[in-house]
Amino acid sequence: MILLSGIASVEDAEPLLAALIDQPGCAIDVTGLDRAHLAIVQLLCAAGRPLVSKPGEGFLRDLPAIGLIQISPR
C-alpha cells in the first residue's frame, strides 16, 4: 500500500509517480493526508486506484471532485 500523510507538495509528485509505477495495482492510503497539491490530486485521479481512508477525514473532506475517486473504507 502507498501511504500519503501530512501535506503533499508539488515536490512529492515525482516520488508518488515512481511509487505508482513500481507498485501497480496497489491501493493508496490517504487517511493521514491533510492537504495535497493539485499535481498530487491529478496523479491520484489518473492512477485509478482505490483510495483508503476514514470517511470525512483530512484531505478527502475538502476535495470537491470526490465523486471521481473510488474510496475504500479503512
Residue 24 belongs to domain spanning: 2-73
50 exposed, middle or buried (CB, 10 Å; 0-12, 13-18, 19+)? middle
pLDDT tens, 24-62?
Answer: 989 999 888 988 998 998 999 899 888 887 766 667 666
Give the pLDDT confidence score for residue 11 in this predicted structure.
98
In order, the DSSP letters of 55-70 are: TT-HHHHT-TTGGGS-
Q: Structural domain tally of the chain? A: 1
Look at the block and give the residue holding cell 473532506: 61
Kindly tell me if the per-residue pLDDT of 68 is higher than 60: no
**Mean pLDDT across 9-34:** 94
Give the pLDDT confidence score for residue 51 in this predicted structure.
84
